[in-house]
Amino acid sequence: MSAAINPSEKVKIAVTSSIVRKDVALSDELKNSELHPVLKKIYANRGVTELKQINYNLKNLLDFSLLKGIDVAAEIVAQAITENKYIVIVGDFDVDGATSCAVMLRSLKAFGLENVDYLVPNRFDYGYGLSPQIVDVAAQLNPHKKPDLIVTVDNGISSIEGVDRANALGIQVVVTDHHLAADTLPNAAAIVNPNQPGCQFPTKMIAGVGVAFYLMLAVRANLRAKNWFDEKSNRVEPNMANYLDLVALGTVADVVPLDDNNRILVEAGLQRIRANKTCAGINALLTIAGKSIEVCSSQDFGFIIGPRLNAAGRLDDMSVGIECLLSDDYELAFKYASTLNKMNAQRRQIENEMLEQALVLLNQQTKQLDDVEKIPDALALYDEQWHQGVVGLLASRIKEKYHRPVIAFADAGNGELKGSGRSITGLHIRDVLDAISKKQEGLIEKFGGHAMAAGLTIKHNNFTLFQQAFNKQVTAVLRPEDLNNVNETDGSVSEKYMTIETAKLFKYASPWGQLFSEPVFDDVFKILNWRIVGQKHLKLELAKQEGGECYSAIAFNKTDENLPVGDDNIRIVFRLDVNEFRGKRSLQLIVQHIEAV
């Protein structure tokens, strides 16, 4: 397969984009508050009507007792601790899984448990979750003793066969997960998952690390009631806030919606990091990326720390990432961080090569359509050279480029393909897979996931059949307007607020993330100058027409091909940022979208 598209052979693929200014009316409480006038508008546009929604005090955190099954799970774990039983934590190979594992291991050891290990399935050998094979590995992890209890983190809700295998071996299983449940639940001793049937927990958006943290809160309360913590035994009750840096990292990196409860968790974790109270691993990962912990933001979780940790699970073994997060020795943590940094550079190279190959493949497929300006409503792509650990990132990049739900597949051996999917607003991708599996029984071997991301396994010889079924099902449930790429903004921002001070205010006003997006604006500017930097980024000097003030701007992964022809005036979607270069700080506009006026 060719590594690049010949420009003369490119097929024009029409992706409709539009800019929509949100303008939600202010509630009386917001209107009468002392908040910055633009911040009032930003919060209103994100559904904030009461100030308590942006009061991130931990006392406002939802109570753990609202989770179904948590009392039973806490009793089982607490009993294992008091009887010094052997527990094995089975995690997942992404950041949510790694942080969940670290939170639970750190908590259990702080509670006084000595016999505890962890195990993360290698995605290339075992795949996802508590499979029967992983149970067998866990049973032999310690040559002297099999586990008394397995606790899953960020997985387990679909591990019916794995839990059955553990039960057959006499090993109890407690499942902690946040993924959507199937029609049948595993026969575990206890299940803690806000998305299981009958759970009344007010939010269903919590990440796996949040569920693990809640269980540890419940276990601590159970041990406290048992008078486990006392001076005579030299057991000190731990402050669970010590682990909120890990909870915050996993929550943002897993791209779960930042609802009120998740924002409390994330903000508390960020405050610990900025106060230099974070674990050595997070400190080392920020340092190696050239970031200061004092100015850490939720964006750093998603774009700096998360990719480096994820690289371990994508290319090799997530235990490198977990060991980094578990280390209390900064020098050792930095060595792990260095390894992760190298893995991430390798991951980027693989991802870029795969993206070029995918664009060639997409180009070839689109050429075969009757109308070359149309692209299928859903994209299922496969190439035998693609790396199994990077197809999720590839799907995300293709989705961002063409605004279509995408599933990218890689060869998994044994005649199977493993796919990773990313969706667009308005389409619940796991529900799509569920519908396909019921309409065409046997087409999908197994699947799981969320509204916006999912994973699945199919037979190699069923790829074309699945490709057709996927597109057909998406077409059936999506509205045509859902395929338009809508750029929602907070409108224009007055020049008097386009300052470094305002940029800093907005950056730290709240933890920003999924469904509680960072403030973004749109306006018309005149291009004074432009150049390409780093081969693929567009550096711009812009001026607002009415004021004439000059602003420095950068559009990542865009070039002069994205500029309208024959017009120096452009409308851009942008956010305010502070650029630091050679010790100097200046306002910079981060451009997300460019279109003709």
* Averaged pLDDT for residues 227-243: 91
Q: How far is CA 563 from CA 172, 524, 534, 568, in A?
A: 60, 13, 18, 9
**CA-to-CA distance for 578 and 503, rounded, in angstroms?**
7
- Indicate whether 527 and 467 sit together in one domain: no
5, pLDDT greater than 70 = no
* Averaged pLDDT for residues 411-418: 92
* Averaged pLDDT for residues 277-296: 94
What are the tokens at 235?
A: 């057991």
Percent helix, strand, coil in the chain, to 5, is: 45, 20, 35
Q: What is the pLDDT of residue 585?
A: 87
- Tens-place pLDDT, residues 257-275: 999 999 999 999 999 999 9
221 belongs to a structural domain: yes
338 belongs to a structural domain: no
9, pLDDT greater than 70 = no
> Starting at the edge strand that comes first in sequence, how are the strands of the sheet with 87-90 ordered?
116-119, 87-90, 149-153, 172-176, 190-192
Q: What is the pLDDT of residue 592?
A: 94
- Indicate whether 48 and 79 sit together in one domain: no
Question: Long-range contacts made by residues 442-446, C-beta under 8 angstroms, separation at least 24?
Answer: 443/469, 445/416, 446/158
123 belongs to a structural domain: yes
**CA-to-CA distance for 340 and 316, rounded, in angstroms?**
10
352 belongs to a structural domain: no
Q: How far is CA 65 from CA 123, 208, 214, 467, 592, in A?
A: 34, 17, 9, 44, 42
Range of the domain at 409: 375-483
193, 176 contact by CB (below 8 A)? yes
pLDDT-based confidence at residue 189 (cuts at 50, 70, 90): very high
- Tens-place pLDDT, residues 105-158: 999 999 999 999 999 987 666 777 899 999 999 999 998 899 999 999 999 999
pLDDT-based confidence at residue 17 (cuts at 50, 70, 90): confident
- Indicate whether 418 and 527 sit together in one domain: no
Last residue of a domain, one of 243, 267, 291: 243
- Tens-place pLDDT, residues 517-572: 999 999 999 999 999 998 789 999 999 876 678 999 999 988 888 898 888 899 99
450, 433 contact by CB (below 8 A)? no
- Indicate whether 110 and 48 sit together in one domain: no
Q: What is the pLDDT of residue 181?
A: 87
**CA-to-CA distance for 24 and 39, rounded, in angstroms?**
13
Identify any residues that bridge with 117 across adjacent strands, giving them in sequence order. 88
- Indicate whether 476 and 522 sit together in one domain: no
**CA-to-CA distance for 400 and 584, rounded, in angstroms?**
33
> Which residues have C-beta within 8 Å of that of residue 426, sequence separation ≥ 6?
478, 479, 482
2, pLDDT greater than 60 = no
11, pLDDT greater than 60 = no
350 belongs to a structural domain: no
**CA-to-CA distance for 35 and 418, rounded, in angstroms?**
49
Name which residue leads in pLDDT, 359 or 68.
68
Q: What is the pLDDT of residue 547?
A: 64
- Indicate whether 115 and 227 sit together in one domain: yes
Percent of the chain having pLDDT more than 70?
Answer: 94
Name which residue leads in pLDDT, 361 or 211.
211
310, pLDDT greater than 50 = yes
CATH for 451: 3.10.310.30
First to last CA, the chain: 39
- Tens-place pLDDT, residues 335-346: 999 999 998 888
358, 381 contact by CB (below 8 A)? yes
At residue 358, what is the residue type? A
CA-wise closest residue to 197 among 183, 207, 211: 183
- Give the rounded distance of the alpha carbon of 504 from its chain centre: 24
Rounded to 5 degrees, φ, ψ at 129 are 90, 180
What average pLDDT does the structure give for the chain?
A: 90
> Which residues have C-beta within 8 Å of that of residue 457, sequence separation ≥ 6?
127, 412, 416, 417, 418, 419, 444, 445, 446, 447
216 belongs to a structural domain: yes
- Indicate whether 92 and 222 sit together in one domain: yes
| Counted domains in the chain | 3
Cα dihedral 265→266→268→274 (10° resolution): 160
**CA-to-CA distance for 536 and 560, rounded, in angstroms?**
10
- Indicate whether 498 and 476 sit together in one domain: no
Q: What is the pLDDT of residue 463?
A: 96
151, 104 contact by CB (below 8 A)? yes
- Indicate whether 214 and 70 sit together in one domain: yes
291, pLDDT greater than 60 = yes
CA-wise closest residue to 425 among 476, 488, 355, 512: 488
CATH for 80: 3.90.1640.30
Residue with the two structure tokens 């409860």: 261
**CA-to-CA distance for 92 and 455, rounded, in angstroms?**
13
Q: Among the residues of 301-329, which ranges form H helices?
A: 306-315, 319-326
- Indicate whether 451 and 541 sit together in one domain: no
309 belongs to a structural domain: no
Rounded to 5 degrees, φ, ψ at 10 are -65, 135
90, pLDDT greater than 60 = yes
360, pLDDT greater than 80 = no
Q: What is the pLDDT of residue 546?
A: 66
Q: What is the pLDDT of residue 550?
A: 92
- Indicate whether 466 and 404 sit together in one domain: yes
CATH for 502: 2.40.50.460
180, 196 contact by CB (below 8 A)? no
Last residue of a domain, one of 188, 215, 243: 243
Number of helices (H) and strands (E) in the chain: give both, helices first. Answer: 18, 17
What are the tokens at 407?
A: 């599933």
- Indicate whether 439 and 555 sit together in one domain: no
Last residue of a domain, one of 225, 243, 261: 243
pLDDT-based confidence at residue 51 (cuts at 50, 70, 90): very high
Query: What is the Cβ-side half-sphere exposure of residue 518, based on CA atoms within 13 angstroms?
Result: 19
Q: What is the pLDDT of residue 425?
A: 86
> Which residues have C-beta within 8 Å of that of residue 213, sequence separation ≥ 6?
103, 240, 243, 244, 247, 265
- Tens-place pLDDT, residues 427-485: 899 999 999 998 998 999 988 877 888 899 999 999 999 999 999 999 999 888 888 88
Rounded to 5 degrees, φ, ψ at 569 are -95, 130
- Tens-place pLDDT, residues 484-497: 888 999 999 999 99
72 belongs to a structural domain: yes
Rounded to 5 degrees, φ, ψ at 576 are -85, 135
279, pLDDT greater than 50 = yes
Q: What is the pLDDT of residue 366?
A: 58
**Reduced 3-state DSSP string for 535-558:** CCEEEEEEEECCCCCEEEEEECCC
CA-wise closest residue to 42 among 26, 18, 20: 26
Q: What is the pLDDT of residue 521?
A: 97
